[in-house]
Structure formats: structure tokens, C-alpha cells
Amino acid sequence: MSDVYRERALEDLIKAERELRENAERLARDYRALVLELAQRLAGEALEDRRRENPAVPQAWTPAEWRAFWASVSVKASGSWTPRGNGHEALERRMVQLESELAALRGQLEQARMEAAQARRAREDLQKQLEKARTEKAQEAEKPKGEARRPAERILTPEELPALWRKLVEEMRTMIIPSAPERFRVQLNPDEAIRYRRKVLVLYTLAIGGISSRMEIDRVVSVVEGLSERTNSVRRPLDELVQTGLLICETIRMTSPFETGLAVYRLSEDGKALCNLWGWQVVENEWERLMRLHQGAEQEAHTVAVLAFVLHARLRGWDAVILPEVEGAARPDVLVERDGERWYVEVERGDGSRRKWKNLAVLNGGKVALCAANEAGREKLVRDCKAERLEGVATDLRTLSFVGNELRKMFDITPEEPLWVERW
């Protein structure tokens, strides 16, 4: 229950800060409009002269600039203002009143800023307490459920991850979890604090990192939370985001020369709207990029092969970029890098073409980098390249994914394992 009270206290602080800021801004707008109206009525010609010199006038004027303007003009009767009785005296009284009210407004704004700063500090302190409480509660709650945990020595650190995963982990470990907008409270269910936090982490991974495969999302969020990748503590929030319409999920498959598939995700329109409300700059994720630039929907098997190769490269500690932008005739599927080694890679399920290998070699300094579907396909591609006297590296998805006829468990693959099966 203490977590619920802390959550409510945090939400009340945020709401009070927002209302105070909105009231101050609304009052400032009203006074600015009133001063502008008086200027148009009493010194319209002078104001227009200033506006012709600078179109931004007078919207950007400060109180000091307004005071200088009134001091520089002589208020006279004109077609836009007809004094009645001692109109000048009434105007002066009105100006004194306005200045007094503006001074009071400045005081209110300064007070609002101070209160907002105090609220932010209180919110940050409360957030730290909540993070600690959530971690302790998660550790206690998950033990009785018998969830499989990796041995301590197998929990990866950010330093062991490729650049994209490491960047996401470091950002999410220090981020303040945003509150659920009222429009999305039902879909996010923030009352379940720990699960809500992990939903936010999943959405951040997709929106900012552009990651699309379930296994990659699982690994990144698990490292952030210090959890085993075999636990449902990440899988359940991910499934709920699909059920509530914030994510779209599909299982895409390759059936030849062997059968495999990947669960891939992208943000729905609601999901993108939510991330924009949180101030996140949503990027195109890797599944979306393949569908847009590489006939990903029509060539589903090839899409699976590219995403699977990228997954295996990152599991082994390589940085990977799908459909990198290059100059020239080559159109490589992937760019991988690690420890100064850099390869543009063609993921090929068929035979490919000699022209394709020559174009690829131009990008790799005279060498090729290939990923075939299975051992036989790899051997055929390597023979073709050797016939063209092209050196290079090669691997295949079946060797990366299986030990004998047994499918490997992804969480057992470490950065110490090689990506390339052969070099020549």
C-alpha cells in the first residue's frame, strides 16, 4: 500500500505544479492582451511604426520594453480614441493599476517557479524511493513463483552489450518514469507500479532504439531490471501492451531450407501518440524499415533472415545497422562492427549473383561478408566468391541457431562466441 500512497503523492505534486504554471501563464496572456489593446487604441500609429520596423513587435516585448514605448509616445486624441472629460487622468490611473498588477504577476510567476522547483526535487526524491521499493518488492515477489533466474555470473552488464543496447540500458537506468497520461491510464494501468514501469521501458526500447524483435526487447529490459531473460516479468508487460492496442505484434516465418520464426513488434498509432506525449522522438524501427525499403512484407522469409542475423550479431557483441546508407551500386542488408572490424553483409537465402558479390567487395575493401540460410547454402556462396577470387567471411543462420538438431536458447549465447563460421 505504501507504493500506492507514494504514487498518488507524486501524481498530486505533478498536478499541482502543472495547474499553478497554467494559471500563471493564462494570467500573463490576459494582461499582455490588455496592454496590446490599450496600445492599439491610444497609440496605434506609433505601434504600427514599430511593427513595420520589426514584425515581431509587440508580441515579444518585456514589461521594460512596454514601459519604454509608453514613455516615448505622446497620447493624443485620434479616430481610434476620443477622450471624455479628463481621459488622460483616467489613462494614467489605469496604467498605474496595470503596472501594479504586472508587478504582482511577476511575483506570482517567481513564486510559481520556486514551488515548481521544489515540486521537481520532491518528485525526484520520491521517484528514487519508489525505484528502491519496487526493486525490493520485485525481488521478494518473484522468488516464490519459481521463475528461472540466470546465475549471477551470467547477468550481463551494459559494458558487455553492443552500442545500441548499451545506450538504451544506460538511458533507462537513469530515466524518471513518466506518469500515465489520463487518456492512456486504462491501457497502461499505472496502479500496478512494477509492471507499469516495465511497460514504459518496453515502449522506450521500441520508440527510441528502433528494436523490433521480442528477444532483443527482452534482453535490453532484463539487463535494466537485473532480471533473467527466462522470466515472465518482461514478457507479461509486453503482451499486455499488445492486448491494449499500444503495440502491434506479428510472428513472421521462414520455412525453407529450415523452419524458423521471429516475434516482431512495432508501435501502433496509439503507441506513437503516447510516446509523443512523453516527449520522446519516435524513430522508425527495424521491421518497419525493412517493410518500407526492402519489400519486407512481400519477402517475409528474407525479412526473418535479416532480423535473425542482426539478433545473432548483437547477441555476440557486434553493433549492427539494417539497410545502411551507402554510395555506389551495392545495397547491403546489414552493417556490423566490433573492435575495429567492419563488414557490410549480404544476407542471402538463394545463390546470389557474381555482380552482387563484386559490388559488395567494393564496400569491404575487396572482400565479401555473407550470411546464408544453412551450411549447404554457405558452402555454395563461398565457392562462387572464391571463383571470383574474392576473399571474405561467411556464416549461416542454422549454424548460429542450432547445436546439431537442437535449437539453441538465445540467453545462452554470449559475446565471446564467434559470428563468422569461416574466413578465407
Residue 289 included in any domain: no
Residues 231 and 358 in one domain: no
CA 194 – CA 277 distance, rounded (Å) = 21
> What domain range includes position 327?
298-424
- Specify the pLDDT at position 281: 93
- Terminal CA-CA length for the chain: 63
Q: What is the mean pLDDT of residues 220-246?
A: 86
Residue 120 included in any domain: yes
Q: Is the pLDDT of residue 197 over 60?
A: yes
Q: 148-160: string of b/e by CB count within 10 Å (b at 16+)?
A: ebbeeeeebeeee
Q: What is the mean pLDDT of residues 309-334?
A: 93
Q: What is the mean pLDDT of residues 405-415?
A: 83
> Which one-letter DSSP state was computed for residue 226?
T
In percent, the amount of the chain with pLDDT more than 90 equals 45
Residues 316 and 261 in one domain: no
Residue 40 included in any domain: yes
| Residue that is written with C-alpha cell 525499403 in the block | 293
In percent, the amount of the chain with pLDDT more than 70 equals 86
Residues 135 and 6 in one domain: yes
- Specify the pLDDT at position 137: 62
- Specify the pLDDT at position 313: 96
Q: Is the pLDDT of residue 146 over 60?
A: no
pLDDT band with cut points at 50, 70 and 90 for residue 298: confident
Global pTM?
0.64
Average pLDDT score, the chain: 83
Number of domains in the chain: 3
Q: What is the mean pLDDT of residues 240-268?
A: 93
pLDDT band with cut points at 50, 70 and 90 for residue 73: confident
Helix, strand, coil percent values for the chain (each to nearest 5): 60, 15, 30
| Residue that is written with C-alpha cell 556464416 in the block | 395
Q: Is the pLDDT of residue 284 over 80?
A: yes
Residues 244 and 313 in one domain: no
Most confident of 21-25, 83-87, 302-306: 302-306
The CATH number assigned to the domain holding 247 equals 1.10.10
- Specify the pLDDT at position 420: 97
Q: What is the mean pLDDT of residues 129-136?
A: 68
Residue 245: partners with Cβ closer than 8 Å, 6 or more residues away: 187, 268, 270, 271
